[in-house]
Amino acid sequence: MIWIGNVLVSPGEAGVYGERTLDGYRVWDPYRSKLAALYALGGGVELESWMRVLYLGAANGTTVSHVADYVETVYAVEFAPRPMQDLLEVARRRKKIVPIMADASRPEDYAPLMESVDLVYQDVAQPNQVEIAERNLVFLKPGGWFILMLKTRSVDVRRDPAGVLEETLAALERRIEVAEARWLEPYHHDHAAIVCSRP
């Protein structure tokens, strides 16, 4: 990862969403990207040029574009038509992004387009976030990483976020090894990042 002082940047061309540039690099804003927030807080997985990434919940491609600046390929899955239009435009200018319009809870629909990946990154605002994770682990290589951005209020708005996190960790630990979990305050409220590894 590239830091200029305490500012996280990525090395691709600018102009994806009106982001600032610094010394020719794109500033990766932790208030706009939960993955950038995780890095700003000292956590996360180092992105490498040889990595292939499956990104679930790509939305309009803001964070996807930064990830693509670092890695070999990003398979970007998004279900909603409006953000998909933006994602397609981002992918048109970044050949490393493979946009896939599909439901992340139905990986069988995009399995023919996939290969094994080094990182699965999930940012999907659904109550069944753990179930979606479990279904997509089929694409993760041994030795690979999985990052879940847990939106606790999407799981159950009435419950204590700490309880939702605890329950989610217990469910994930039955399938994969949890390396770290941390809240994303002050950048994102009631969101937690869970980083897992597949031995």
Binding site members for S-adenosyl-L-methionine:
62-63, 78-79, 103-104, 123-126
Check residue 20 and report its DSSP letter. -
Angle of CA points 101, 103, 104, to nearest 5°: 110
Contact assessment for residue 172 and residue 149, using Cβ atoms and an 8 Å cutoff: no
At 198, is the secondary structure helix, strand, or coil? coil
Contact assessment for residue 40 and residue 187, using Cβ atoms and an 8 Å cutoff: yes
Residue list, annotated binding site? 62-63, 78-79, 103-104, 123-126
CA quadruple 41, 133, 175, 128: dihedral positive or negative?
A: positive
Could you give the CA distance from residue 28 to residue 109 in angstroms, rounded to a whole number? 31
Check residue 14 and report its DSSP letter. S
User: Which residue from 37, 41, 12 is spatially nearest to 25, judged by alpha carbons?
Assistant: 12
